[in-house]
């Protein structure tokens, strides 16, 4: 008998990723409607202490998968452990964030469980007792509703920042279960982890993103965007053109071949609006475009557009935001 709405609790360096709380908030409503438990699945090493926060955000039960083999994320180790746990418990659904790790893990777990997977979803609803997901197609030009009525568990990855987080309930606790699940044979080995130290938020979780494109004219000019980002607490992104030119590392790339983002505000500076870029940011709640070409494609999706030289406009924006923030 299938039971439980499961949320993969993604963590890094002992901190739960924001998208996990978004999924718990949405999963709580679905679990209540179906009369099922909301469970978080927390793999790693030394992560049991994170279970309390998951309970405060709605989880009824937290499966803690502790193992030396799970200290660092590997596709095999995490997929084997999560799939093994799912086979033991037969959940109704497994929800994961559409992050680099979530996308990788979801595909492997779905294959091991022989079930369907809906990816890059932006909405989740319950219709006639079935989970229905909305996802963009044709690079965000249209949306389709999808469901897997025969599949168990139903699996989906959901974009960060598209679901609202319900406030934490301090003192609310979840049942913590130390689960025995095998990491199995692991074919990958983590030799080194290179960290980029930054005071700015992580790109996929940021509420505000300031991105630059070919119009930045060179890597040295990204300091303009960085100064603006620091004033408003934003992350900095880049288009593929800027990354291909070597002005920014690939980790900054927003778009179909980079990161998919859904911030509250996306400020595009010197970005023409190629379809590949729009596919990665079109679900932003508010899009602001700065471009000197009034015919630029980015203005077709922008909520606010400024036709002008970004080298004049961005410093003015910075000063105005400084006044507002003060």
Choose the final residue of a domain: 144, 161, 178.
178
215, 127: one domain:
no
Under a CB-based contact definition with an 8 Å cutoff, are residues 266 and 287 in contact? yes
Task: Give pLDDT, residue 2.
Answer: 52
pTM: 0.84
Task: Give pLDDT, residue 223.
Answer: 96
51, 172: one domain:
yes
Q: Is the pLDDT of residue 1 over 70?
A: no
13: pLDDT confidence band, cut at 50, 70 and 90? confident
Give kind and range of the element (H or E) at residue 53. helix 51-56
Strand partners, 65: 43
Q: What is the CATH number of the domain that holds 163?
A: 3.40.50.620
**Cα–Cα distance between 214 and 146 in angstroms, integer?**
36
Whether residue 190 lies inside any domain: the answer is: no
Of 10-14, 209-213, 243-247, 298-302, least confident by mean pLDDT is: 10-14
43: pLDDT confidence band, cut at 50, 70 and 90? very high
Q: Is the pLDDT of residue 124 over 90?
A: yes
Whether residue 75 lies inside any domain: the answer is: yes
Q: What is the CATH number of the domain that holds 230?
A: 3.40.50.1220
Task: Give pLDDT, residue 190.
Answer: 80
At 52, give phi and psi (nearest 5°): -60, -45
118, 223: one domain:
no
35: pLDDT confidence band, cut at 50, 70 and 90? very high
212, 173: one domain:
no
**Cα–Cα distance between 156 and 158 in angstroms, integer?**
6
Domains: count for the chain? 2
- Can you give the residue range of the structural domain that contains 165? 5-178
Whether residue 84 lies inside any domain: the answer is: yes
Choose the final residue of a domain: 145, 178, 211.
178
pLDDT per residue as tens digits for the range 129-148: 889 999 988 877 789 999 88
Closest to 147 (Cα-Cα) out of 191, 188, 181, 117:
117
Closest to 157 (Cα-Cα) out of 87, 86, 93:
93
Residue 308's contacts (CB-CB under 8 Å, 6 or more residues apart) are: 290, 292
Whether residue 78 lies inside any domain: the answer is: yes
pLDDT per residue as tens digits for the range 198-208: 778 889 889 99
Query: How far apart, in Å, are the Cα atoms of 64 and each of 92, 100, 115, 279?
Result: 19, 22, 23, 35
What do you get for the CA distance between the two ends of the chain, in Å?
Answer: 57
52: pLDDT confidence band, cut at 50, 70 and 90? very high
Work out the mean pLDDT of the chain and round it to a whole number: 92
Whether residue 12 lies inside any domain: the answer is: yes
295, 151: one domain:
no
Strand partners, 306: 290
Whether residue 196 lies inside any domain: the answer is: no
Read off the tokens for 179: 């689960």
pLDDT per residue as tens digits for the range 69-88: 899 899 999 999 999 999 99
118, 247: one domain:
no
pLDDT per residue as tens digits for the range 165-194: 888 888 888 899 998 777 788 887 888 877
**Cα–Cα distance between 266 and 81 in angstroms, integer?**
37
Q: Cα 1 to chain center, whole Å?
A: 31
């Amino acid at each position: 008998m299938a039971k439980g709405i499961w949320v993969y609790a993604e963590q890094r360096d002992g901190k739960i990723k924001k998208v996990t709380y978004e999924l718990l908030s949405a999963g709580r409503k679905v679990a209540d409607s179906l009369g099922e438990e909301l469970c978080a699945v927390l793999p790693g090493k030394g992560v049991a202490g994170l279970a309390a926060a998951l309970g405060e955000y709605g989880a009824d039960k937290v499966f803690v998968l502790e193992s030396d083999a799970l200290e660092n994320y590997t596709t095999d180790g995490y997929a084997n452990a999560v799939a093994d746990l799912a086979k033991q418990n037969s959940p109704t659904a497994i929800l994961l964030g559409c992050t680099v790790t979530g996308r990788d893990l979801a595909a492997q777990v779905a294959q091991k469980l022989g079930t369907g997977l809906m990816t890059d979803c932006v909405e989740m609803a319950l219709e006639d007792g079935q989970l229905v997901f909305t996802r963009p197609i044709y690079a965000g030009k249209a949306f389709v509703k999808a469901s897997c009525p025969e599949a168990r568990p139903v699996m989906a990855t959901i974009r960060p920042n598209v679901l609202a987080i319900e406030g934490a309930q301090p003192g609310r606790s979840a049942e913590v279960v130390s689960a025995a699940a095998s990491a199995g044979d692991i074919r990958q080995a983590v030799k080194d982890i290179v960290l980029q130290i930054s005071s700015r938020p992580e790109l996929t979780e940021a509420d505000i993103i300031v991105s630059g494109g070919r119009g930045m004219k060179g890597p040295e000019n990204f300091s303009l965007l960085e100064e603006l980002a620091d004033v408003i607490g934003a992350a900095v992104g880049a288009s593929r053109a800027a990354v291909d030119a070597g002005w920014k590392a690939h980790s900054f790339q927003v778009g179909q071949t980079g990161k998919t983002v859904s911030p509250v505000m996306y400020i595009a500076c010197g970005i023409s609006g190629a379809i590949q870029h729009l596919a990665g940011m079109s679900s932003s709640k508010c899009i602001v475009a700065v471009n000197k070409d009034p015919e630029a494609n980015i203005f077709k999706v922008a909520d606010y557009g400024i036709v002008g030289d970004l080298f004049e406009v961005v410093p003015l924006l910075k000063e105005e935001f400084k006044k507002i923030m003060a």
